[in-house]
Amino acid sequence: MSTTFISTNAISTTLRISSMKSRAGLSLATKEATTGRLADVGQSLGALAGRDVVLRAELLDVEKLVDTNALVAGHLDVTQQRVSVLIDTAESFQKDLLAARNSANGGGIIAQPAAANLESLIATLNVTMDGQYLFGGINTGVAPMQAYAAGSPSKTAVDAAFLAAFGFTQNSPLATGISAANMQTFLDTTLQTEFDDPAWGANWSTADNQVMRSRISTTQTIDTSATANDPAFRKLAKAYTMLSDLGTNFNQAAFQALIDTALVGIGDAINDLAEVGARLGTAQQQTANASSRLMVQADLITQQITAMETVDPEEASVRVTNLETQLDMSLALTVRIQRLSILNYL
């Protein structure tokens, strides 16, 4: 037979330990009653905690893709809108060209709107959103187009090309002697090279030929931008440049050759712009569809996480009440035991 040493100190220590456990349990129960979620997921779920971690990681990835798609959709919307404006401007300008073709002062009439359209084209291709140039291809940190102005590489090159071809500048009175055939040859060969590579990249554009690609779902990556190097923009730039900066002193035959070439170029550019818009529209639809699927996926994952982590608030509230009662009793007993002393009985 053995005996157990009992003292008020031992009993008091036991009660203090019990109180500490009750406080810890009360803290967890209070948190669960407040949030409706397990206070310690790992301890409560045990082996299933790994599954919970995986689901939360999947949910985070899906939510990031949804956020990224919202930015991509915004960029696509702005790009599409700018392309539509370029098409409208080009179509309106075609009508002006047809009206000016047989006009005695057609060159002077058309030069100013052509210059305005060229400036607008360059400004459109330099549009930014969220600090990125939308028409820069993958080179989104640098303005893709340089201004066409005195001293700029593009204008200097065009001036030099005209001088080399005819032996005088654009505004020279001698320009009236340029034949329609010579004008056509210049437009189709010498001037065209200024809008082809490598002159285009050297004098006009710093855009990259590769457009931006974005991951819009866990399995799908698509092209989500345009580049100023697209043939549509080159053709518009050429048409607006030839009409605004090759001079107004041509004879009627040379001027009509100029107008006819510009009309063909702008018509081709409009068709090419429509293709650019179609590609952007496809990307817009794909992005919207991907976001819809991702949101459905996020809802399903959230439901699984909720089923694993959610607690019954009423049951948690009952535990809070019980633990508070136990803690109060433990504290009261501790106080009473600490007051016990053999000296009270001597």
pTM score above 0.75:
yes
Per the model's pLDDT, the better-predicted residue between 46 and 139 turns out to be 139
CATH 1.20.1330.10 fits domain 54-300: yes
| Mean local confidence (pLDDT), 82-93 | 97
Q: Could you please report the per-residue DSSP string of 174-212?
A: GGGG--HHHHHHIIIIIHHHTTSTTHIIIIIB---SSPP
Query: What digits encode the pLDDT tens for the residues 4-47?
Result: 555 555 555 555 565 555 555 555 656 555 565 555 555 555 66
Instruction: Kindly provide the b/e burial profile for residues 218-253, where b requires at least 16 CB atoms within 10 angstroms of the residue's own CB.
Output: eeeebbbbbbbbbebbbbbbbbbbbbbbbbbbbeee
Q: Does the CA dihedral 317-319-321-323 come out positive or negative?
A: negative
Across all residues in the chain, what is the average pLDDT?
A: 85
Q: Residue 1: pLDDT band by 50, 70, 90 thresholds?
A: very low
As a whole number of Å, the end-to-end CA separation of the chain is 30
C-beta separation of 133 from 143 below 8 A: yes
Cα 75 from chain centroid? 5
Ordered by start, the domain boundaries in the chain are 54-300, 313-346
Distance CA 59, CA 82 (A): 35
Query: What digits encode the pLDDT tens for the residues 211-263?
Result: 999 999 989 999 999 999 999 999 999 999 999 999 888 999 999 999 999 99
Nearest to 17 by CA among 333, 293, 303: 333
Query: What digits encode the pLDDT tens for the residues 108-137?
Result: 889 999 999 999 999 999 999 999 999 999
| pLDDT given at position 305 | 78
Per the model's pLDDT, the better-predicted residue between 195 and 38 turns out to be 195
